[in-house]
Amino acid sequence: MNCSEFKKYWIEGNINDLDSDLQKKTLDHFHSCKACSDATLAATLEARGVDVASYPCVHMAQYAEFHCDQHPDPKDCHDATIKYDEIFDEYSIPHGDGVSQLTISNCPWCGTKLPESKRDLWFDTLESIGYDDPWDQEIPEEYKSKSWRVHS
């Protein structure tokens, strides 16, 4: 099976409508072709309203937009493999106590370079306007989301 056939059967069509032999060929292609498996993930995310192009890669879009109905707090969910912090524009792998995390600089699946963390810039910016301890001070609302760096 080639990529255009795969897309016709799975992304544009419905794999469940195929006979079992064609389903197997489609699944085999899905598992052997990174481009088609990524395209399938992108189509799934876009169908949910995710703007995949606003993320470094489809994998980071998947994890940044991850929501679990059973665990409102992502640190309680084992499926939340990658955490995205929109304030700092950084990706990390949670570990240990549910609070600790390891910041990553490349996608673990495709190697795409991730954006530089804006953590230091956030602290420097707040300090420049008079907030020397933003964890204990009431900071302006725009600094509690990505607004501070998107609208700057």
Average pLDDT, the chain: 90
Q: How confident is the model at residue 98 (pLDDT cuts 50, 70, 90)?
A: low
Q: Is 58 exposed, middle or buried (0-12, 13-18, 19+ CB in 10 A)?
A: buried
Q: Half-sphere exposure (CA, 13 Å, Cβ side) for 144?
A: 6
Arithmetic mean of pLDDT, 86-101: 85
Q: Give me 152's structure tokens.
A: 């700057």
Q: Where are the domains of the chain?
A: 1-49, 52-116, 119-150
Q: How confident is the model at residue 77 (pLDDT cuts 50, 70, 90)?
A: confident
- For residue 66, pLDDT over 90 is answered with no
Q: How confident is the model at residue 11 (pLDDT cuts 50, 70, 90)?
A: confident
Main-chain phi, psi angles of 91, to 5 degrees? -110, 145
Which range, of 5-14, 49-58, 122-131, averages the lowest pLDDT? Answer: 5-14
- For residue 150, pLDDT over 80 is answered with yes
User: How far apart, in Å, are the Cα atoms of 142 and each of 87, 126, 146, 148, 149?
Assistant: 10, 11, 7, 5, 9
Find where tokens 């600094």 sit.
Answer: 143
**pLDDT tens for residues 103-117?**
999 999 999 999 999
Which run of H or of E encompasses 103?
A: strand 101-104
Give residue 20's pLDDT: 92
Strands in 101-104's sheet, in edge-to-edge order, are 83-85, 90-94, 101-104
Contacts of 133 (CB under 8 A, 6+ apart): none
